[in-house]
Amino acid sequence: MMEKAQIAAVLDEIALLLELNDENPFKIRAYSSGARILENLTEDLDELIRTGRLSEIPGMGEALVDKITTLRQTGTLPFHQKLRATIPAGLFEVMQIQGLGPKKVRALWKQLGVEDLTKLKEVCESGAVAELKGFGEKTQTKILEGIKNRVAYAKRHRWVDAAKIAEPILAGLRALPQVKHAESAGSMRRSRETVGDLDFIVASSEPAPIMAWFVAYPGVKEVTAHGETKSSVRFENGLQADLRVVPEEQFFFALHHFTGSKEHNVAMRHRALARGLSMSEWGFKAVDENQTAPGAKDEAAVFAALGLPWIPPELREGLGEIEASEAQALPKLLELSDLKGAFHNHTTASDGEHTLEEMAAAADKVGWEYLGISDHSKSSFQAHGLDEGRLLQQMEAIAKLNASKKFKVRILTGSEVDILRDGTLDYADDLLGRLDFVVASVHTLFNLDSEAQTARIIRAIESEHVDMVGHVTGRLLNRREPYAVDLTKIIDAAAANETIIELNSNPWRLDMDWRWWRRAAEKGVLCSINPDAHHQDHLDFVQHGVRMARKGWLTKDQVFNTRSLAEVLRWLGRA
């Protein structure tokens, strides 16, 4: 028995092995695309296999369904094992080096006996690589650089970290006199939780000075490409940035193209061809040379030419957005201005950096109607969790503060109560019942197996006093994997018990992952965009939660904290 993510990893590995064997590129693509489909699948895999519906998914043919079924049921695949035996395992790492693809790696392997990074370094240093046909001095030097920096180069960066670098560059580009339009594209524009590299698209008839400005930008550590219309640079932290300058009339095609995703673009091109148009970053070209092809004066026109309403970048992941657009069924996505308050915030009573009053002042500044305070419970002693006495004191302090009318915002009493090992809660029911709201979270025993972890969280969800479940998988981007938990079952339990699932907006967490929200919302589960603030400034984190909710196709109605104070109190049973 193998999990979806592991099966996807095997398919990706098969694709890589096939590449090294110089196989048909389209066969390779079929395996990679199969891996992407699996990763984005939120339905129950066993169910899909049992009912035969797996093969109905476009891109899932007979061979893939067979192999996925075998992997799911036996945990291993003879085809994969056989393929693996033909290729040294060390070549996987060699393939990761910038500038090395299957052809070059194969040449290094067959002609110089390179089977891992150690040997690769050796043959580069000896000068043997430069002697190979198709290689030279520069390639050899670049490979050595690539080996040295491979960890930094391969890393994906949190969206916030990438945005910090991207924003001043974008502002700088827009300030150049030659620049007509400038936008950031790629996964940054699609609001992915992590960003691989930055893509800037600029409209101008005079690219040379823009290119010169870009490659000389402060903080650029290395210029990896410097052409007439395309340049690439790398920053100290390993983040790469690409700049493309195009004529104004092609700008919105280029912007669309480099926003991606790859899967979205493939589907768009497919659709274009069905309408007699070939589509690229340069625009449309009529397949029939006697026909003229439409241009685009904005991005909406690119979609309109294919009979589609504009699709927000966050949705362009090839997960049905084109079909929804065609059916005029795109969601009206949540916006930051829809939020009327927020739950799950900490104060100095536990591990927050600001007092109750300071947090209230910060909420007034944002203009919220309510702010839910939920400090840690007593088991989280590392975070100064509150015992029953201190919690009662805090409730009193909040009542006084609300009565004083010192702040416009209404403070709600709450707790981020620990879910204990067996799924019971860290406070007794009568105390929980006196709070305005309760967030239940796991802070211990991350290594339980999926069954135990899931059962533990579901027991908390079933408690009549728990209003929401906090950071449901515990992941920290680039730092800690999510704990093993069956989100399908969690979502079903949340739906059955009318428990809200939090979208924790701390930029390290962004948990629950955006890929699950459509399913959750379809089942009727409400989302709460929670800042999990430990500092006044952290109330701003909700912007990241909103970005993720948009990626999850959520509308205003599906998000709890878009409701007014009166509605929220009624839902919580406090009015």
Provide the residue count of the chain: 575
- Per CB under 7 A, 270 contacts DNA: yes
Note whether 505 and 336 are within 8 A (CB): no
Strand 181-184 vs strand 157-158: parallel, antiparallel, or unpaired?
unpaired
- Per CB under 7 A, 61 contacts DNA: yes
Task: Quickly count: other Cβ atoms within 10 Å of residue 280's Cβ.
Answer: 14
Query: Following DSSP, what letter does each residue of 434-461 receive, concatenated?
Result: TSSEEEEE--S-TTS-HHHHHHHHHHHH
- Per CB under 7 A, 226 contacts DNA: yes
Stretch that binds DNA, among 168-176, 280-288, 409-417, 526-534 (CB under 7 A): 280-288
Report the candidate in 82, 239, 221 with the shortest Cα–Cα distance to residue 152: 239
Tokens at 558, concatenated = 């599906």
Strand 277-280 vs strand 240-246: parallel, antiparallel, or unpaired?
unpaired
Residue 456 C-alpha from the chain's centroid: 26
Whole-angstrom CA distances from 102 to 15, 19, 93, 94, 97 are 11, 6, 12, 10, 11
- Per CB under 7 A, 52 contacts DNA: no
- Least distance in Å: CB of 253 to DNA? 10
Q: Which residue's CB is nearer to DNA, number 98 or number 111? A: 98
H helices present in 275-378, as ranges: 299-304, 321-326, 356-366
Coil/strand/helix, residue 130:
helix
Tokens at 31, concatenated = 């395996």
- Per CB under 7 A, 150 contacts DNA: no
Tokens at 36, concatenated = 């992407």
Does 512 sit behind a cis peptide bond, omega within 30 degrees of 0 on the bond before it? Answer: yes
Number of residues that bind DNA (CB under 7 A): 58
Can you tell me which of 278, 424, 543, 555 binds DNA, judged by CB under 7 A? 278
Does 204 sit behind a cis peptide bond, omega within 30 degrees of 0 on the bond before it? Answer: no
Binding mask 157-196 for DNA (x = CB under 7 A): -----------------------------x---------x
Q: Give me the phi and psi of 223, to 5 degrees please.
A: -100, 115
- Per CB under 7 A, 367 contacts DNA: no
- Per CB under 7 A, 230 contacts DNA: yes
- Per CB under 7 A, 142 contacts DNA: yes
- Per CB under 7 A, 31 contacts DNA: yes
Binding mask 314-343 for DNA (x = CB under 7 A): ------------------------------
- Least distance in Å: CB of 227 to DNA? 3
Q: Which residue's CB is nearer to DNA, number 159 or number 483? A: 159
- Per CB under 7 A, 384 contacts DNA: no
Coil/strand/helix, residue 345:
strand
Residue 400 C-alpha from the chain's centroid: 41
- Per CB under 7 A, 256 contacts DNA: no
Q: Which helix (H) or strand (E) holds 426?
A: none
Note whether 472 and 457 are within 8 A (CB): yes
- Per CB under 7 A, 423 contacts DNA: no
Can you tell me which of 40, 70, 111, 139 binds DNA, judged by CB under 7 A? 139
Binding mask 195-224 for DNA (x = CB under 7 A): -xx-x-------------------------
Can you tell me which of 191, 204, 259, 265 binds DNA, judged by CB under 7 A? 265
Can you tell me which of 20, 87, 94, 105 binds DNA, judged by CB under 7 A? 105
Cα distance between residue 82 and residue 150, in whole Å = 29
Give residues with Cβ within 8 angstroms of 546, minimum separation 6: 334, 335, 336, 339, 505, 529
Q: Which residue's CB is nearer to DNA, number 36 or number 544? A: 36
Q: Which residue's CB is nearer to DNA, number 197 or number 502? A: 197
Cα distance between residue 460 and residue 8, in whole Å = 31
Stretch that binds DNA, among 103-111, 167-175, 404-412, 517-525 (CB under 7 A): 103-111
- Per CB under 7 A, 225 contacts DNA: yes
- Least distance in Å: CB of 78 to DNA? 12
- Least distance in Å: CB of 44 to DNA? 20
Residue 239 C-alpha from the chain's centroid: 17
- Per CB under 7 A, 282 contacts DNA: yes
Whole-angstrom CA distances from 228 to 72, 176, 246, 248 are 49, 17, 10, 16
- Per CB under 7 A, 60 contacts DNA: yes
Tokens at 426, concatenated = 């860290």
At residue 239, what is the residue type? L
Stretch that binds DNA, among 136-144, 295-303, 439-447, 519-527 (CB under 7 A): 136-144
- Per CB under 7 A, 78 contacts DNA: no
- Per CB under 7 A, 228 contacts DNA: yes
Cα distance between residue 492 and residue 472, in whole Å = 14
- Least distance in Å: CB of 50 to DNA? 18
Stretch that binds DNA, among 275-283, 455-463, 477-485, 534-542 (CB under 7 A): 275-283
- Per CB under 7 A, 30 contacts DNA: yes
- Per CB under 7 A, 156 contacts DNA: no
- Per CB under 7 A, 261 contacts DNA: no
- Per CB under 7 A, 281 contacts DNA: yes
Which positions touch DNA (CB under 7 A)? 24, 26-27, 29-31, 34, 58-65, 98-105, 130, 133-140, 142, 186, 196-197, 199, 225-230, 240, 242, 258, 262, 265-266, 269-270, 273, 278-282, 285
